[in-house]
Amino acid sequence: MESGDEHATESDSGSDTDRISELPEDILQKILSSVRIRAAVRMRRLSRRWRELCESLQFIHLDYRDFEHWKVEKFARFVNNLLLVRRKVDLHTFQLHWDSHPLLNYNDVRMWIGYAVKHNVKVLDVKLRLYDKTDLPPGIFTCRSLQELNLQWGEAPLRDCKHTGLVLPDMINLPSLKRLTLRDVEVSDLSLKRFIARSPALEDIHLIDSAMYLDCIASTALKRLTLDGVLDGRCVFKISAPHLISFECTDYPLKAISWKGQPSLESARIDTCGYTFDGESKFTGVLAHAKKLALFGADIKVMLEKELLTCSVFANLTTLEIGDWYLSGDLFVVIRFLQLSPRLEKLTLRHRSLDSGAAESDAMPIGGITFQCPFLESVIIHCSAFSYGVAKLVYVMFVNGISEDKINITFDEDIKERERLERICADEERSKELSIFEKMSKENPEWIDDDPDALSEPDSDQSDAYSDESDSDQSDAYSDESDSDQSDAYSDESDSDQSDAYSDESDDDD
């Protein structure tokens, strides 16, 4: 395939036809979205058709693992040139995941996000291990095109000790927003109400390790709510979301959560950190129509002991995960739950050994209590290899009609080791793919615009993938000027010049 052809060269027999290039542009953009960004920018050398596509990327995925041997300055230059040469088209996804040292320059991050906002981005996904959140990029919270917003910026650097979390701005207007994920934020009733009021399509809220100062989470549009840990705050709030179908909550005391009304949850995962439950509302009523439940924690056990005696049948429940207490010493909650779950198909029990020196709590009697789960096909028991009482769990299942071939005991140590090996294999596979890519780049210098030595010497000052001719212009574009000037750094008027910045010398090859 010659690089100068408008689409692709075809042999007389037609056997060498580049049928991929003939696909509709939206499909080709999807293909490019699954390719490493460094490979995508090189694909423009294939033909003019691919050059146009690569200069109009709809999906920009920047993952630090694809640039792990580069200096941060070289990575910044790569992104700067990538955006400078991009044509005047809207952007679907801008993803930036950076979890390594040194830190990215705040001004660069502001400009990149500002570019995405200006080009009507739909999905903005930014994960930074450290970031000074007092220096927010302009326009994030007033982007009318934004449908998914994921800001996980971790803690601020140590020198920014006066600011522990992202304080949401007063001006929020995201009319197209459907999914919101925020990490390390300070959420108040007022800020959350602004989000909900100014985002009528908001269906999914996910708050991670945040400081919450809430009395109520109220929304008639909300369908999914995830609360993953808490840094600070009152930790006592009410949920008023009549159309909520999914609720996940981790590391909260159960007594901190109450409900206004009874949403018909289809799934819930609650992993609490409390030890007592004195809530006035019937918590089981919120869970009554669920198909999938995962309930863990000592205060979950206390709540269920109080409410399972009088609650209604879980008629839709097919998957149940429960435990995280010494199950063999207190099985009442499990057996009673199974009594109320006639359609259960899969059961997972998390058995926890007693802490050293801890005495067993008074268990509710289970004598004479039996259950029937005719559809139950799988019972998985998670426990430590050194746990006691597992034999009792197996016996209780067996005497209630669950055959041994349906019971699987999985040790926590084995799970952790398997997960560790899977991470190692995934990292090795990614490194292998990157190594092959680097080798092929060296063997095929026509793929790239830079000196091949820049790949083996990633810390050199040589540019990669794009010419350095526009660096002086870029440095001006990333100057510490006012926000209004920054928003014009990628002005539409310069599109024709940017196209030339894509390394004019390649035209001779094309």
Tell me the one-letter amino acid at 40: A
- Domain segments of the chain as ranges: 318-451
> pTM for this one?
0.77
What is the mean pLDDT, run by run of 10 residues, along the chain of 510 residues? 41 50 68 72 71 82 86 91 88 90 85 94 91 74 95 65 63 93 86 90 92 89 92 78 95 87 91 76 88 94 90 95 90 92 96 62 64 93 87 90 92 87 83 70 54 34 39 39 41 40 37
Instruction: Calculate Rg over the CA atoms of the chain.
Output: 28
Quote the tokens at residue 65: 């693992």
Pinpoint the alpha helices (H) of 407-480.
412-443, 453-456, 471-477
Q: Counting Cβ atoms within 10 Å, is residue 215 exposed (0-12), middle (13-18) or buried (19+)?
A: exposed
Residues 204 and 221: their CA atoms lie apart, in Å, by 9
Q: b/e map of 112-148 (b: 16 or more CB within 10 Å)? A: bbbbbbbbebbbbbbbbbbbbbeebbbbbbebebbbb
Find, among 399, 265, 385, 386, the residue nearest to 331 by Cα.
399
Backbone angles phi, psi at 206, to 5 degrees: -135, 115
- Cis-peptide, bond into residue 24, ω within 30° of zero: no
Beta bridge pairs of residue 117: none
DSSP string, 284-328: HHHHTT-SEEEEESHHHHHHHHHHTTTPPP-TT--EEEEEEE-GG
Q: In what order do the strands lie in the sheet with 237-240?
A: 216-218, 237-240, 257-259
Quote the tokens at residue 94: 């801008």
The pLDDT of residue 19:
63
